Structure 1
Amino acid sequence: MTFKTLPQDIVWRNGRIATMNTDLSIPYGLIENHDLVVRGNQIVAIVPTSEIEIDGNQVIDVEGRLITPGLIDCHTHLVFGGDRASEWEQRMNGVSYETISAQGGGINSTVRETRKMSESALFQRAKPRLEALINEGVTTIEMKSGYGLDYENEEKQLKVAKRLSVAYPITVSSTLLSAHTVPPEYKGKADEYIDLICQKIMPELWTKGLFDAVDVFCESVGFSLKQSEKLFSAAQRLGIPVKGHVEQLSNLGGSELVARYKGLSVDHIEYLDLEGIKALKASGTVAVLLPGAFYFLRETKLPPIELLREHQVPMAISTDFNPGTSPFASLRMIMNMAAVLFKLTPEEVWAGVTCHAAKALGRGDSHGQLKPNYVADFVVWDAKEPVEMVYEQGSNPMYMRVHEGIITHTN
């Protein structure tokens, strides 16, 4: 049966298309001798070249290059003030984190700098980080708050994320992470701070349309299970999706809590156990792996990759870009780390930055795969095989980047 194009359709021809289509059983969902048909901001068809009827359409011949979905960076803390380079140097010289924190360092130093900076200054600081990711093929990104820790400054961070989504050809998913740590003014009063989030920060910023999901750092140095559940319960009443920084330093059962609330994702999860994994499988929650933080902190406790595979829990991969534990604005480098440090296969790595990352953002029905009715976000690589982007670092094989059907970058 012949597929008939409409006059406005753009036909992408002669590409090796790694669709990452989860309905296909072939590696990477890779198909050849097919045309990718884009109408407006959507993919309308992927059909054999011999079965398409061209009628004056624009045809873009990629001359045998590889086409993949655009990369998705599903866990970042991209907007913040200051940096922690001097603290890192102290740590490399043998100074303990406890000593640095006692001197006013750690996350609270980033909170101080973020609070001091204006919205415009934070926007300018975030731009080169975002540009670096875009230039590697990222078309969708998550940005968390969590360095303001009060109403005014959490709002400021989220407004910067919104401005970045307007200024750049990229889809931004914003997450409220006010429950990142207890701010200095609430020291010893974590319950009161959770009440502030539940009663004011979260409902008012949600009403303003400034975020898409709510997150919490459920950990011995963060918030307890009881406090995290109070936050999730309040979010549920407002219809807000939840996710969690959990099981990074210990096993508190945070993943099971997120799963009970049908959360989008659990992130870090080095200490995740079998019961937690079974809960994730039952809830459809994505496990987000963050090898950059594992590497930067010289961790030795690996996430339970084999158990996640065995129970078929989808594994996403992200940069976790942040000033304290993963200052890496390169998702491709993180892809390599995921393969080398976590022993994921290259195909698992690709799923981790496409279809599984999309699901971790609640966008699994529209992003992260090349198939009809999905958003036309894709990258043309000067390469033949998907493994090439995982394998070689330091070069940039991106040939074209397409966001919502529009070519944004060409080499």
Structure 2
Amino acid sequence: MKVDLIITNIGELVYFKEDSLETLSDAAIAIDNGKIVEFGKRKEIEDKYSTKTKHQIIDAGGNSVIPAFVDPHTHLIYSGCRHEEFLAKLKGKEYLELLTEGKGINYTVKLTRQDSAENLFRVSHQRLIEMRNNGTLTLEIKSGYGLNLETEEKIIKVAQMLKNRDEADIVITFLGAHAIPPEYKNDRKTYVKEIKEKMIPAFAGKAKFIDIFIDKGAFTVDEAREILQAATKHGYEIKMHIDELSYTGAAKLAREFSVVSVEHMELTTEEDIEILKENGVTAVLLPGTCFFLKLQHKPRIEYMREVKLPIALGTDHNPGTSPFYSQSLIMALGVFLYGLTVEEALLGVTLNAAKAIKMDHIKGNISPGMDADLLILNTHSFVHLVYEVGRNHVSKIVRKGKLVNIH
């Protein structure tokens, strides 16, 4: 049978079977029309399939091949940086204290409001390519550095421009409820009303998800409930930032709404973890943020394991609390900070990450019928992604069955 591409001489092929990590040695993969046709032992695949031209064979050199990374939580589109805030934190200033001084999210909002769509696209595209070159081929991008109709629209437009470049698969999330903007500091109700009555209708169909930052210094559970009621009427899927800086009890909203994922969860209780499991929610943990902010509380990993709550991992890429690009680094932080196994960490940045953005039917695994998004590593085992922390082990990238030029 003729196919578009065969990847052969795979020393270790990594895939998931019912969420359990499996490996196959001396393997090969047959790919056609951007999809995985079949994988198996090298001899079996090579006997069964041939390519349409002799140049459509990739030799993996006996190294490991894994599913490409999926990043389910990023704030990729913003202007400026916050390195001065970073230095202040190193001297002991708390994040909530910086927020009251006009730094934090609102500082980035100010710069992003002033910037042009063209420049936002330019800098965000550079970030996207950095992520892609580190192995992320599918990612979620949130708005949230506009906090008014005009700038949120600009950010979502830039996200769509990035999506149209087709250099990665992008899912767009509307995060107008990221913070209360300075002009509404003493009039929260009016801003919540603006989100409900203006922003949510404006971005319906442009953003797949809505997200809300429910925490101390951000939005309350009651405000979130109002916003989610409006969002569901317009067809948004739901994500929630919860329990990063304080316990909110926001996980209980999963009993009222169809929630796809909850993010952060440093202070989420065992009772709330059970609620999330009962309601089919995926946990998106962000160890980069925990590391960068030196947070003392860690998610209750052992209990998540006990109840079998799916655990995804994301970079939370943003300029203030997690300026990271690499999902392999996030894997390492998940292992060293949170106590995940290496296998759980890889599952978290592939199949479970895809589950958190409702793309696990085509992304995050090596299986017939799924998109042929693959990473050929420069090492014989995926364990080196964590073992040699800080090194980019991506040697070759295949996206939808085509070799990507890493630049």
Coarse TM-score class (shorter-chain normalised): over 0.9
Question: Quick check: 1:172 aligned with 2:165?
Answer: no
Instruction: Report the equivalent of 1:123.
Output: 121
Question: Which residue is equivalent to 2:40?
Answer: 47
Supply the AA of the counterpart residue of 2:170: V
Q: Counterparts in 2 of 1:238-387, with a 5 A limit?
A: 238-258=234-254, 260-387=256-383
Deviation at residue 104 of structure 1 after TM alignment:
2.4
Give a deviation string over 1:236-257, Cα, whole Å, max 9, x none. 2222110100011222211221
**What is the CA–CA distance in structure 1 between the aligned matches of 2:84 and 2:100, rounded to whole Å?**
15
- Measured at CA, do residues 259 and 323 of structure 1 come closer, stay the same or move farther in structure 2, by a change above 3 Å? farther
Greater Cα offset, 93-102 or 331-340: 93-102
**Kindly tell me: are residues 97 and 300 of structure 1, through their superposed partners in 2, closer, same or farther at Cα, counting changes over 3 Å?**
closer
Distance 1:55 1:357, change over 3 A: closer
Where does residue 93 of structure 1 map in the other structure? 91
Alignment-derived partner of residue 77 in structure 1 = 75
**Residues 258 and 324 from structure 1, CA distance in 2 versus in 1: closer, same or farther, beyond 3 angstroms?**
farther
Which residue matches 1:140?
A: 138
Of 321-330 and 109-118, the range deviating more from structure 2: 321-330
How far off is 1:17 after superposition? 4.8
Structure 2 unaligned regions, length at least 5? none
Q: Secondary structure at the match of 1:384?
A: coil
Whole-angstrom CA distance in 2 between matches of 1:245 and 1:321:
14
Q: Secondary structure at the match of 2:16?
A: coil
Kindly state the Cα deviation for residue 401 of structure 1 after the two structures are TM-superposed: 0.4
The structure 2 residue matched to 1:404, chosen from 385, 392, 400, is: 400
- Contact 1:20–1:351 (8 Å) recurs in 2: no
The 10-residue stretch of structure 1 (83-92 or 311-320) with the greater mean CA deviation from structure 2: 83-92
Q: Does 1:196 align with 2:180?
A: no
1:162-183 C-alpha deviation (Å, 9 max, x unpaired)? 2222335211111100000111
Structure 1: tracts of 5 or more residues without a match: none
1:265-323 residue CA offsets vs partner (Å, 9 max, x unmatched): 11110111122111111111111111111111111111100000000001111111111
Q: Which runs of 4+ in 1 moved over 6 A?
A: none
Decide whether the 8 Å contact of 2:6 with 2:51 is kept in 1.
no
Q: 1:95 to 1:49 in 2, by over 3 A?
A: closer
Per-residue displacement from partner, 1:180-208 (whole Å, max 9, x unpaired)? Answer: 011122222222222211222112211xx
CA distance in 1 between partners of 2:34 and 2:137 (Å): 13
Give per-residue Cα distances to partners, 1:310-342, cap 9 Å, x unaligned: 000011111111111111222222211111011
Check the 8 A contact 1:20/1:354 in 2, yes or no.
Answer: no
Match of 1:60 in 2: 58
Q: Which moved more, 1:173-182 or 1:395-404?
A: 395-404
User: Aligned partners of 1:163, 1:9: CA distance in 2, in Å?
Assistant: 29
Residues 372 and 259 (structure 1), Cα distance of their counterparts in 2 relative to 1, 3 Å cut: farther
Q: Say which SS state the counterpart of residue 138 (structure 2) adopts.
A: strand
Distance in 1 between residues matched to 2:96 and 2:329, nearest whole Å: 30
Counting matched residue pairs gives 402
Deviation at 1:95, TM superposition (A): 4.3
CA distance in 1, matches of 2:19, 2:347: 13
Render the CA deviation track for 1:317-375: whole Å, top value 9, x for unaligned: 11111111111222222211111011110000000100100000111111101101111
2:6 to 3, 7, 11: 11
Give the Cα separation in 2 of the matches to 1:56 and 1:218.
Answer: 52
Using the TM superposition, name which of 60-69 and 42-51 deviates more.
Answer: 42-51
- Matched with 1:20 is 15
Contact 1:19 1:371 in 2 (8 A): no
Q: Is the alpha carbon distance of 1:24 and 1:146 closer, same or farther for their aligned partners in structure 2, counting shifts above 3 Å?
A: closer
Q: State which drifts further: 302-311 or 49-58.
A: 49-58
Q: CA offsets per residue over residues 213-248 of structure 1, 9 Å max, x none?
A: 000011121111111111212222222110100011
Q: CA deviation at 1:130?
A: 1.8
- The TM-score with structure 2 as length reference comes to 0.94
Supply the distance in 2 between the matched residues of 1:17 and 1:271 (Cα, whole angstroms). 38
C-alpha contact (below 8 Å) 2:26/2:62 kept by paired residues? no
**Cα distance in structure 2, aligned partners of 1:99 and 1:21:** 44
| CA-based RMSD | 1.9
C-alpha distance in 2 between matches for 1:260 and 1:390: 38
Contact map agreement 1:292 1:319 (CA 8 A) in 2: yes
- The change in CA–CA distance for 1:195 and 1:156 in structure 2 (over 3 A counts) is same
Q: Which moved more, 1:174-183 or 1:397-406?
A: 397-406
* Residue 395 of structure 1: how far off its partner (Å): 2.8
Percent pairwise identity:
35
8 Å CA contact 1:242–1:258 kept in 2: the answer is no
Q: Which amino acid aligns with 2:340?
A: L
Cα shift at 1:160: 1.2
Report the more deviating stretch, 356-365 or 321-330: 321-330
Q: 2:195 is aligned with what amino acid?
A: I
Distance 1:101 1:221, change over 3 A: closer
For 2:240 and 2:300, locate their aligned partners in 1 and report how far apart those are by CA, in whole Å. Answer: 17
Quick check: 2:37–2:368 contact (8 Å CA) kept in 1? yes
Taking structure 1 as the reference length, the TM-score comes to 0.93
Instruction: Name the CA distance, whole Å, in 2 between partners of 1:358 and 1:17.
Output: 22
Cα distance in structure 2, aligned partners of 1:127 and 1:56:
34
For 2:240, give the aligned amino acid.
Answer: G
